[in-house]
């Protein structure tokens, strides 16, 4: 799922997002709640009509923002109090608020409010998000961390129960529960067992890709995914790179979202089957080749999309580098379009490999995952 935080995949018109192969988008509950406001969107027929996206939408609950913005909020047993990123006013988000906002937004899949703790004990990671969350939660030692994981699990379960009770649109909005537990297998098991005792349309693995290394992400997913019902969608939140996606699919995960394609695209980083290329590098100043000759995106094969270019040429790496170096908007747009298509092509190939069982062929076509 491409991420459209504020009801927009940055810089990309909805029909181009669709052309990339996307079937469903993710919107951000916290940001839309602040601006323009869920009630305003509801008065305009819901978020699909508001952003002109004629397909499914998933909204998160605000639980991740409580983690990533830990230096400007406070979490207690009843919910989260944010300091608004717009005007500094206090904004309260309890489970009932998360449901009300998502009911007003009208997304097809909505997420329960969860409590996302720092995933690893102090000293095992230097990610600034973990540091901020650890400081807010006063996690200074391994013993503190263990207690915080237990607290987060219990809150996540209680908040899920409150979300279920206050969900006002059960007939047309699928509520997913989220499993927390950090990188601790026992706590992941505890949370998964209790969350899945509540009958829901789907379940998610949360609290990964929030600062821990790839091997820790893979270990958590391998442990947790089989604990979720096999006949319901399994959603891994916020992941990720190709290696992470493939490892999660092999563990049994069905759904993913990540900001990487567009965030990296806006920063001149293009994904290819052989790894990322950083187009600002001087080595591409006179490179006339496309980003990826195997790709059929707007940048690499514009004629496929009805764009008439001299000799059916692709947009060259040299030209794209020029756009970034002079600050032209077209550069981020084209590389974001390429990255969106890259990940959809990868997932299409993964789905085909599930049918054919040709995993060796997949890795040959996508060397970026060959080290798995």
Q: Is 2 helix (H, G, I), strand (E, B) or coil?
A: strand
Which residues are the active-site residues? 60, 257
Question: Do 62 and 30 contact (CB within 8 A), yes or no?
Answer: yes
217 Cβ contact partners less than 8 Å away, ≥ 6 residues apart: 208, 209, 239, 240, 244, 247
Residue 58 φ/ψ, nearest 5 degrees: -115, 135
Residue 130 φ/ψ, nearest 5 degrees: -65, -40
CA-based max dimension of the chain: 65
**Cα 68 off chain centre by:** 13
Q: Work out the angle between the directed axes of helices 242-251 and 214-224 (0-180°, nearest 10).
A: 20
Residue 86 φ/ψ, nearest 5 degrees: -95, -55
**Burial class for 205, CB neighbours closer than 10 Å (0-12, 13-18, 19+):** buried
Strand runs (DSSP E) across the chain, as ranges?
25-27, 57-59, 73-76, 79-83, 90-93, 109-111, 174-179, 202-205, 234-236, 255-256, 269-272, 275-278
262 Cβ contact partners less than 8 Å away, ≥ 6 residues apart: 2, 3, 9, 10, 11, 12, 336, 339, 340
3-class DSSP string for 226-274: HHCCCCCCEEECCECCHHHHHHHHHHCCCEEEECHHHHHHHCCEEEECC
For the chain, the C-alpha Rg in angstroms (whole number) is 21
Residue 163 in tokens: 């979300």
Residue 257 φ/ψ, nearest 5 degrees: -140, 155
Residue 269 in tokens: 């980083």
User: Would you state the torsion angle of the CA atoms of residues 136, 138, 139, 140, taken in this order, to the nearest 10 degrees?
Assistant: 120
């Amino acid at each position: 799922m491409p991420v459209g935080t504020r009801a927009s995949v940055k810089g990309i018109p909805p029909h181009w997002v669709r052309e990339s192969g996307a079937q469903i988008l993710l919107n951000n509950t916290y940001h839309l709640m602040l601006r323009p406001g869920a009630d305003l969107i509801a008065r305009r027929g819901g978020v699909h009509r508001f952003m002109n996206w004629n397909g499914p939408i998933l909204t998160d609950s605000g639980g991740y923002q409580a983690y990533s913005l830990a230096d400007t909020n406070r979490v207690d047993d009843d919910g989260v109090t944010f300091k608004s990123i717009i005007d500094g006013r206090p904004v309260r988000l309890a489970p009932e608020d998360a449901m009300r906002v998502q009911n007003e937004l009208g997304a097809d899949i909505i997420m329960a409010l969860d409590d996302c703790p720092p995933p690893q004990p102090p000293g095992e990671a230097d990610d600034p998000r973990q540091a901020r969350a650890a400081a807010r939660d006063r996690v200074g030692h391994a013993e503190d961390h263990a207690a915080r994981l237990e607290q987060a699990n219990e809150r996540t379960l209680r908040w899920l129960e409150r979300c279920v009770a206050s969900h006002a649109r059960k007939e047309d909005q699928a509520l997913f529960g989220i499993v927390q537990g950090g990188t601790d297998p026992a706590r992941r098991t505890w949370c998964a067992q209790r969350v899945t005792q509540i009958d829901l349309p789907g379940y998610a693995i949360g609290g990964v890709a929030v600062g821990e290394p790839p091997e820790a992400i893979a270990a958590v997913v391998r442990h947790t995914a089989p604990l979720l019902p096999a006949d319901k969608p399994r959603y891994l939140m916020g992941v990720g790179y190709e290696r992470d996606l493939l490892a999660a699919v092999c563990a049994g995960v069905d759904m993913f979202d990540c900001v990487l394609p567009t965030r990296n695209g806006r920063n001149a980083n293009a994904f290819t089957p052989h790894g990322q290329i950083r187009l600002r590098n001087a080595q591409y100043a006179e490179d006339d080749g496309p980003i990826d000759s195997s790709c059929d995106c707007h940048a690499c094969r514009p004629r496929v999309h009805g764009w008439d270019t001299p000799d059916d040429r692709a947009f060259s790496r040299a030209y794209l580098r020029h756009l970034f170096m002079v600050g032209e908007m077209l550069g981020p747009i084209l590389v974001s379009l390429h990255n969106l298509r890259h990940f959809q092509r990868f997932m299409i190939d993964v789905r085909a490999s599930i049918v054919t069982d040709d995993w060796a062929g997949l890795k040959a076509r996508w060397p970026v995952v060959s080290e798995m």
